[in-house]
Structure 1
Amino acid sequence: MARLLILFILAFSFGFSADPVKLMFLTFTLKEKDFSRAVESVSNSMQREGLGVKRTLKLSDALRNRGVDFPDYYIVFGCFSEKNTKLLEKVPALTNLLPCSVAIYKDKDGRIKASIANYRPYLAKYYKNLSNEDRNIVVSSYNKLIKALSGLSVKPQSAPYVPPPKEDLVSEALVEGLGYDEFLTLYKSSLEGKNMNVLDVISLAPNYNVLLACNLSYGEKILRNFPQFGTLAPCRIYVKQEDKGIRIGYINIPLLVKLYGKQIGEEGTKIFQKAQEDLQGALEEATGR
Structure 2
Amino acid sequence: MTTFGIRKALRATYDEAITRVPEALKAEGFGVLTEIDIQSTLKQKLGVDFRRYKILGACNPPLAHEALQAELEIALMLPCNVVVYEGDDGKAVVLAIDPTKTLATTGNPKLAELAEAVKQRLTRAIEMLE
Deviation for aligned residue 1:91:
5.4
Letter in 2 for 1:87: A
Residue 40 of structure 2 corresponds to: 61
C-alpha separation between the residues in 2 aligned to 1:82 and 1:26?
22
Tell me, yes or no, if the aligned pair for 1:88 and 1:95 is still in contact at 8 Å: no
Flag the structure with more relative contact order, 1 or 2, with Cα contacts below 8 A and sequence separation at least 6. 2
Asked if 1:130 corresponds to 2:89, the answer is no
Tell me, yes or no, if the aligned pair for 1:74 and 1:104 is still in contact at 8 Å: yes
Asked if 1:110 corresponds to 2:90, the answer is yes
Letter in 1 for 2:122: L
Residues paired across the two proteins, number: 128
**TM norm structure 2:** 0.80
Deviation for aligned residue 1:69:
1.1
Residue 65 of structure 2 corresponds to: 85
Q: Identify the structure with the greater strand proportion.
A: 2
Letter in 1 for 2:50: F
C-alpha separation between the residues in 1 aligned to 2:103 and 2:81?
17
Q: Structure 1, residues 37-70: CA drift from partner, whole Å, max 9, x if none?
A: 2111001111121112223221212223343211
C-alpha separation between the residues in 2 aligned to 1:73 and 1:122?
23
C-alpha separation between the residues in 1 aligned to 2:26 and 2:125?
9
Task: Give the number of the structure whose alpha-carbon radius of gyration is greater.
Answer: 1
Letter in 1 for 2:99: Y
Instruction: Structure 1: give runs of 5+ residues left out of the alignment.
Output: 1-18, 154-289
Q: Structure 1, residues 228-258: CA drift from partner, whole Å, max 9, x if none?
A: xxxxxxxxxxxxxxxxxxxxxxxxxxxxxxx
Divergent runs of 4+, >4 A: none
Deviation for aligned residue 1:81:
0.6
Asked if 1:73 corresponds to 2:73, the answer is no
Asked if 1:119 corresponds to 2:99, the answer is yes
Tell me, yes or no, if the aligned pair for 1:60 and 1:71 is still in contact at 8 Å: yes
C-alpha separation between the residues in 2 aligned to 1:139 and 1:109?
32
Are the structure 2 counterparts of residues 52 and 144 from structure 1 closer, same or farther at C-alpha, using a change threshold of 3 Å? same
Deviation for aligned residue 1:137:
2.5
Instruction: Structure 2: give runs of 5+ residues left out of the alignment.
Output: none
